């Protein structure tokens, strides 16, 4: 039996979709460096480092103190992000003599998607909007100073220019 058109279509990329994805990645410095993986299922469970094991100095013959790291198990649920980019066929036929309307609308929709992704990537909060994912600010404890956060003092206060000194 020969390969059907429906099955062959699954192996072919839509040029418009491929171009949109390339545009989004090319325009976003965040997406250029993020590793993406395919996930089967509706989420990804991973272990997040909670605390590092202790380290100390010892003399010859000292008894070493054991310490171990701790982890928090997290699950990132898959989310759908997108938007509709319709252009009326009449407008495409009659108003695309100077600039291709469909291309312009799709490029601007791709730019808006990139901007929204970058915003949610940093500031996303699934508690305030269950349809989005948690961003870096939510995943990293920004309330207290830690190795992950550059902050003013133990309180985790925001750095200001007046606190910075150049020697």
Mean pLDDT of all residues in 101-116: 86
Does the model's pTM come out above 0.75? Answer: no
pLDDT per residue over 17-61, tens digit each? 555 666 676 778 888 888 888 888 888 888 888 788 999 999 999
Q: Is residue 12 over pLDDT 60?
A: no
> Which tens digit of pLDDT belongs to each residue from 109-159?
888 988 999 999 989 999 999 999 999 888 876 665 566 565 566 665 666
- Specify burial of residue 23 (Cβ count, 10 A radius: 0-12, 13-18, 19+): middle
Distance CA 102, CA 96 (A): 8
Which of the 8 DSSP states describes residue 127? T
**Once rounded to an integer, what is the mean pLDDT over residues 156-163?**
66
pLDDT at 73: 87
């Amino acid at each position: 039996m020969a390969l059907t058109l429906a099955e062959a279509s699954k192996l072919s990329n839509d040029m418009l979709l491929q171009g949109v994805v390339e545009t989004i990645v090319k325009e976003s410095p965040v997406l250029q460096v993020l590793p993406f993986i395919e996930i089967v299922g509706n989420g990804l469970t991973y272990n997040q480092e909670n605390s590092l094991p202790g380290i100390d100095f010892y003399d010859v013959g000292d008894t070493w103190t054991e310490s171990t790291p701790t982890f928090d198990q997290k699950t990132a649920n898959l989310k759908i992000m997108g938007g509709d980019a319709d252009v009326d066929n009449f407008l495409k036929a009659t108003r695309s003599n100077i600039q291709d309307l469909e291309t312009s609308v799709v490029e601007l929709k791709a730019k808006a998607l990139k901007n929204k992704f970058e915003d949610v990537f940093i500031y996303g909060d699934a508690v305030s909007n269950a349809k989005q994912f948690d961003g870096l600010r939510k995943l990293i404890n920004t309330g207290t100073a830690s190795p992950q956060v550059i902050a003013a003092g133990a309180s985790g206060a925001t750095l200001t220019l007046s606190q910075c000194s150049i020697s």
